[in-house]
Amino acid sequence: MIDVIDFGLTRDGEKVQLFTLRNKNGLTAKITNYGGILTSFILPLPNEERNIVLGFDSLEEYTSDDYLSNYPYFGALIGRFGNRINKGIVTLDGEEIQLPCNHDMHHLHGGNIGFDRKVWKAEVINNEDLKLSYLSPDGEENFPGNLSTEVIYKLTDENELQIHYKAVTDKTTPINLTQHSYFNLSNNFESILNHKLQVDTAFILETNDFLIPSGKIYDIRKTLFDFQTKKSIDRDIEDIENYDDCYAFGESTETPRKVAELSDKDDVVTMEIATTLPGLQVYTGKYITAGKFGPFSGVALEAQGYPDAPNHKNFKHGWLKPGEVYQHQTNYKLIF
């Protein structure tokens, strides 16, 4: 079941709506077609309704100068290319393409105005699924090709929020779509440092100080980055300071496989993450300063392709060619 209300106007006067998805168990997910943002995800616990994602109640808060000045991308769909591209440069058919450098000297999350700040066309399917569509024109943020993207949000009666991605292009283009929600499974948005996390791989991408991959895959067994056995996020945080790493699972898969699990400190709520994508960016939110939310108020678990993939031949999924279909799925399943 999906309800629709007006959510306000953008600064350019575009009308924005807010869609509330419900399942038979009382879970509700609120999503706006501005940026495809998941504004809230509420669980019906015995003594409370608990929101488990960081977000706001109004469009104005998402578009304010204060929020955008230290922009954490709360809950948004990210494209055309999520995460980082080294110095914003990719090479196609021997020619360099310069993409916007909006994060120090590097490209981040699609550029100056990515998919996270676009108004998507919204369609409710069978009063169950929310389909969002966006046509990114050739040359937008200097990306080549007209990229037609659709994302379907589906809330199942198995308490699973599914995100289905699909895209086609008429010119070869870099692509890496993801969803940028920050999760906090506690009540009252306590620090996520007391959450317990498991990530089902022994490998992350080796990166430099700007989080640009070297192209090497780093074996993290028995290091502070190893979450193969579930552990509290704060166990090694004093030495790490902040996790912001892409955990590597190898090839993409045709159907989602479980890659991670997050629980609150008391094990009241557990969330399982499954995806067809080859990477999971784990960001523990040290630099969040947005409204009432501060450092470590949420953890981002972004299923995605590898950052800077177009610049590494051994990362095989950074490009989309005409005639190909980019198709992936990520599921967030709640157990409570």
Say how far apart CA 299 and CA 269 lie, in whole Å: 15
Instruction: Residue 132: name the closest of 142, 113, 119, 144 by CA.
Output: 119
Give the CA distances from residue 29 to residues 38, 161, 195, 271, in Å, rounded to whole numbers and listed in that order: 7, 8, 22, 15
Residue 65 annotated as binding? no
Residue 109 annotated as binding? no
- Which tokens hold the place of 118? 């676009």
- Are 78 and 180 in contact by the 8 Å Cβ rule? The answer is yes
- Looking at residue 8, the DSSP 8-state letter turns out to be E
180 is catalytic: yes
Say how far apart CA 219 and CA 200 lie, in whole Å: 13
The b-or-e profile of 175-195 (16+ CB within 10 A means b, else e) is bbbbbbbbbbbbbebebbbeb
153: number of Cβ within 10 Å: 21
Residue 244 annotated as binding? yes
Give the CA distances from residue 101 to residues 84, 106, 109, in Å, rounded to whole numbers and listed in that order: 10, 5, 10
- Are 80 and 114 in contact by the 8 Å Cβ rule? The answer is yes
Catalytic residue among 106, 107, 109, 180: 180
Residue 257 annotated as binding? no
Say how far apart CA 275 and CA 281 lie, in whole Å: 12
Number of H helices, E strands in the chain: 3, 28
State CA 238 to chain mean position distance: 26
The single residue listed with the structure tokens 């009432």 is 292
Give 10-24 as a DSSP string.
Answer: -TT--EEEEEEEE-T
Residue 103 annotated as binding? no
Say how far apart CA 112 and CA 289 lie, in whole Å: 20
302 is catalytic: yes
Residue 117 annotated as binding? no
Catalytic residue among 106, 141, 302, 328: 302
Could you list the residues known to form a binding site, using ranges: 83-84, 180-182, 244
Q: Which residues are catalytic?
A: 180, 302
Could you list the residues known to form a binding site for beta-D-galactose, using ranges: 83-84, 180-182, 244
